Amino acid sequence: MKTRLSSVAVRRAYSCRASISDLEPEFKSMVDKAIQAIVAYEPNPDRIFGKYSELASVARSVAFHEGKLLEWGIAAIAKCNPDLVILPPDRPMPIVPAAIQLLKKNEWREIQGIRLPSEVHANRTYTPDLFIANRARHAGLIIDVKRSLGSYAESKLEDLRFRMLAVAAIASSWLSERQGPILVEVGTAIIDGADISSDHEKGVFKLSEIGDLLEVDEAGDAMTRLRDMFAARVQQELESQCRKVIGTAKPVSRQSMSSVDFSRDEAEDALLDAGSTGISTARSRSHQSRMPSLSTNVRVGFARFRSGS
């Protein structure tokens, strides 16, 4: 008789867990910050949208701020794993000519035994949404979070993959020059915030799979909770805007709300506030693994799941 295994029985188990009840207060703060930024912007008059201009502005702003919210949520969940450290944004990482030539001549999925210098002239750069290092395994993870991949053409995704792998090729040298952790492996992951697309062979992962990348149980459930909290507030704001348009509710004054300018630099600062830990302030933690030398070759490729412990 063939026995069917339950989803619980085959589910990976890690030593770290994302507790939704513990994360909810931080999630609420993140949602409040995102909603405040969304409604603080006063749109210019628009002849096309007319009296619907403010409603259209809110809808457009949601897309950008949902992406930032997902970054903050992933950063908060990464704190559940004490082996992980979120590297603070420094500056755009260079896409050096040697990395471009390497990727053009080799299979993208995984390149082993390389170490390229980062301090060379580069005309192109790429700034990761998140760069996370596992200090126990000396492994790095470069993450790019997209609200949804549904509208992305494959050619656009190919270009993004190329840029991510190019900076992964110099990431170890780039970090060591800034007194960062030594890495022997650097993976890349494009996260579909809509939780639809998943193609591990091309480095694409659903949002619900983030737990296997961070080695944190129930991370996907926690991210679902964060999105639900955000969705409720967004729909509440849209309903308020609709009522204003049809005149069934008194317009809400925005003058009392402080303007929030979410430039990229400030968004990165907010990401750090959401729970990332700087290189220089990271807690020292002893690990059983042997510290690799700066000359150790580095494996570069798409991110992979780890077996649960």
- Answer yes or no: is pLDDT of 307 > 60: yes
Side chain identity at 31, as an amino acid letter?
V
The answer to whether the CB of 124 falls within 8 A of the CB of 95 is yes
Q: Which of 209, 229, 246 is the last residue of a domain?
A: 209
Cα dihedral 219, 221, 226, 230 in deg (nearest 10): 150
The most confident of 7-21, 74-88, 117-131, 267-281, by mean pLDDT = 74-88
Q: Which of 176, 209, 242 is the last residue of a domain?
A: 209
Q: Does a structural domain hold residue 10?
A: no
- Answer yes or no: is pLDDT of 177 > 90: no
Q: Are residues 106 and 39 in the same domain?
A: no
Cα dihedral 234, 236, 241, 242 in deg (nearest 10): 110
Mean pLDDT to the nearest integer, 207-233: 96
pLDDT tier for residue 99 given thresholds of 50, 70 and 90? low
Q: Which of 188, 209, 230 is the last residue of a domain?
A: 209
- Answer yes or no: is pLDDT of 262 > 50: no
Q: Does a structural domain hold residue 290?
A: no
Domain extent, residue 157, equals 84-209
Q: Does a structural domain hold residue 56?
A: yes
Q: 288 or 226, which is more confident?
A: 226
Q: Are residues 41 and 75 in the same domain?
A: yes
Q: Are residues 158 and 230 in the same domain?
A: no
What residues contact 188, with CB distance under 8 A and at least 6 apart? Answer: 141, 142, 143, 144, 161, 164, 165, 168, 203, 301, 302, 303
Q: Are residues 238 and 204 in the same domain?
A: no
Identify the helix (H) or strand (E) that includes residue 9.
Answer: helix 7-10
Q: Are residues 67 and 159 in the same domain?
A: no
- Residue 217 CA to residue 232 CA, distance in Å, equals 25
Least confident of 3-7, 187-191, 245-249, 305-309: 3-7
Q: What pLDDT, on a 0 to 100 scale, did the predictor assign at position 59?
A: 87
Q: What pLDDT, on a 0 to 100 scale, did the predictor assign at position 90?
A: 62
3-62: per-residue pLDDT in tens? 343 444 445 579 999 999 999 999 999 999 999 999 887 778 888 888 888 888 888 899
Q: Are residues 220 and 173 in the same domain?
A: no
- Answer yes or no: is pLDDT of 105 > 70: no
Q: Are residues 159 and 202 in the same domain?
A: yes
106-164: per-residue pLDDT in tens? 655 555 545 555 455 556 889 999 999 999 999 999 999 999 998 889 999 999 998 99
Q: Are residues 146 and 75 in the same domain?
A: no
Q: Are residues 133 and 32 in the same domain?
A: no
Structure tokens at 160: 């993004």
Side chain identity at 229, as an amino acid letter?
M
Percent with pLDDT over 70 in the chain: 71
Q: Does a structural domain hold residue 284?
A: no
Q: Does a structural domain hold residue 39?
A: yes
The answer to whether the CB of 14 falls within 8 A of the CB of 217 is yes
Angle between helices 264-273 and 53-78 (to 10 degrees): 40
- The whole-model pTM stands at 0.75
Q: What pLDDT, on a 0 to 100 scale, did the predictor assign at position 188?
A: 94
Mean pLDDT to the nearest integer, 159-184: 86
Please give the tally of structural domains in the chain. 2
Range 252-260 contact pairs with CB under 8 angstroms and sequence separation of 24 or more: 254/39, 254/40, 254/42, 257/36, 257/39, 257/40, 258/36, 258/40, 259/40, 259/41, 260/33, 260/36, 260/37, 260/40
Q: Does a structural domain hold residue 69?
A: yes
Q: Are residues 199 and 88 in the same domain?
A: yes
- Answer yes or no: is pLDDT of 220 > 90: yes
Structure tokens at 256: 């009392």
Q: Does a structural domain hold residue 263?
A: yes
Q: Are residues 187 and 94 in the same domain?
A: yes
Q: Does a structural domain hold residue 12?
A: no
Q: Are residues 90 and 203 in the same domain?
A: yes
Side chain identity at 245, as an amino acid letter?
V
Q: What pLDDT, on a 0 to 100 scale, did the predictor assign at position 77?
A: 98
